[in-house]
Amino acid sequence: MSFRRARILATLGPASSSPQRIAELAHAGVDVFRLNFSHGSHDDHAQRLRSVRALEAELGRPIGVLMDLQGPKLRVGRIGGGSIMLQAGQPLRLDLDPAEGDATRVPLPHPEIFAALRPGTDLLLDDGKLRLRVQQCGDGFAQTTVVTGGPLSDRKGVNVPGVVLPISALTAKDRADLEFGLSLGVDWVALSFVQRPQDIEQARELIGGQARIMAKLEKPAAIEQLQAIIDQADGVMVARGDLGVEMPPQQVPVLQQRIVRAARAAGKPVVVATQMLESMISAPVPTRAEASDVANAIYSGADAVMLSAESASGQYPVQAVAIMADIIGEVERDPAWRAGLDASHSPAAAHTPDAICCALRRVAELLQPAATVAYTASGFSALRASRERPATPILALTPDLRTARQLSLAWGLQPMHFQPHPDDVAGITAHAVACALRSGLARERDNIIVIAGLPFGRSGSTNLLHVATIDATAARAAAGATPAAQTVPA
């Protein structure tokens, strides 16, 4: 069990596909594994997920799996000779004609882009390296002027910042991938190309309750509707790579902080992603700037930080995870980290579960208990407790294994799956004490806080806060018995 509050999300790929390597990554500190459906076959992802589930059963702790959908990919068409050189100030026509492009025109096989263009709109090509400005546009064409020139080759990507494109966030490929991922039993679905809350609603209709939805925030249009998107999603990801293409780079750190604050206020897990330890793709240690980048995300209270190519295809995947875990540990030992979390805490909502969790935070501050034990059926109670960022670690006990896996992404939660569950206050307290002792968080004479909902097992009914002191009898009983917890099936 990891006693870090912030979690680590790592991508599996060619450098991290074997069961042995996946086990090494988990031991180094990975809490949730990411399957990137932009790369790899269905068979690749199925084998990786089977390895994760086998490891989960071996370790006896829930491990989350997130599938990341590719989303729409907008690209120019074929170009004669493979590439052209664009000069600033030259005219360039874009149109739907599939014929090979040249220095005067380039095919752009996306009618939805032309439908959204207006004179003055900028288009970015090749991850923002080239910029075009629309002078005139119509049905299926745009006459542009090159603002920033450079080489342009076949099939390079196109971004249209500041424009809401009439495109679904789910392509035909995404729908097929989603159906497959859900059949495997993934815990989270990361939705790319989110522009509006309706994109999440559409995905939820397909997903139902089979997995939680994480909205990837990578479009300026999404930032304009940030609160509505956070309200609709179960979690959000600050996808800084694509966001940095469509927005000036100096705005990305400010937006990152804004997104983290908004997600924390809503009690939704927030992941900071992209290029966190980028140099470790080919180097055994990160740059000092990268270490500071990870640390700043932790100081801001992000739930998780993510590794992409560093763990998927890099030369040092295990070292990258270990160093990320060490950075998190250093920050969480800094008294300024705790002071910053308290200073950035947002008021609780005026309902009973938040009142209980708000009281939990205050009681934890005053009594400094060894742990909080949160009983949760759907995960709601545990997530509201996590939202408060209490000083004590939180054991999230749930009878639902899927919920336990999903909670492995949330700040400060140590999810534990157990069967059967107690059904009265005395049983809840005795079971909580046993689990706290077995976890290593508590020992004899320690206090623990217990939060739960009565009647037990009803989602969103948190209405009990109880402080228990662990006596010698309970400690001896826990030392000689195995509580019905952490029962993760093979």
3-state helix, strand, coil in the chain (%, to 5): 40, 25, 35
Please report where in the chains the tokens 């509580």 appear, as a residue: 483
> Closest Cα to residue 227, out of 261, 204, 251, 257?
261
Q: Distance between CA atoms of 215 and 17, rounded to whole angstroms?
A: 26
Would you call 173 a catalytic residue per the annotation?
no
> Closest Cα to residue 353, out of 332, 336, 375, 337?
375
Would you call 274 a catalytic residue per the annotation?
yes
| 33 and 186 Cβ atoms separated by less than 8 Å | no
| 34 and 306 Cβ atoms separated by less than 8 Å | yes
> Closest Cα to residue 464, out of 376, 403, 404, 366?
376
Please report where in the chains the tokens 């790319």 appear, as a residue: 192
Q: For 444-479, b where at least 16 C-beta lie within 10 A, e where not — what string? A: eebbbbbbbbeebbeeebbebbeebebeeebbeebe
| 77 and 89 Cβ atoms separated by less than 8 Å | no
Would you call 34 a catalytic residue per the annotation?
yes
Local structure of 258: helix, strand or coil: helix
Q: Distance between CA atoms of 354 and 317, rounded to whole angstroms?
A: 39
Q: Which of 34, 48, 61, 219 is catalytic?
A: 34
Residue 159 dihedral angles phi and psi, to the nearest 5°:
-120, 145
| 405 and 415 Cβ atoms separated by less than 8 Å | yes
Q: Distance between CA atoms of 443 and 453, rounded to whole angstroms?
A: 25
Starting at the earlier edge strand, list the strands of the sheet with 413-417. Answer: 413-417, 394-398, 371-375, 447-453, 462-469
The one-character DSSP state at 14 is G
Please report where in the chains the tokens 């600050």 appear, as a residue: 238
Q: Which of 21, 73, 75, 133 is catalytic?
A: 75
Please report where in the chains the tokens 């969103």 appear, as a residue: 460
Q: Which of 4, 7, 53, 216 is catalytic?
A: 216
| Cis preceding linkage at 248, omega within 30 | no
Q: Which of 11, 121, 144, 274 is catalytic?
A: 274
Task: Kindly list the catalytic residues.
Answer: 34, 75, 216, 274
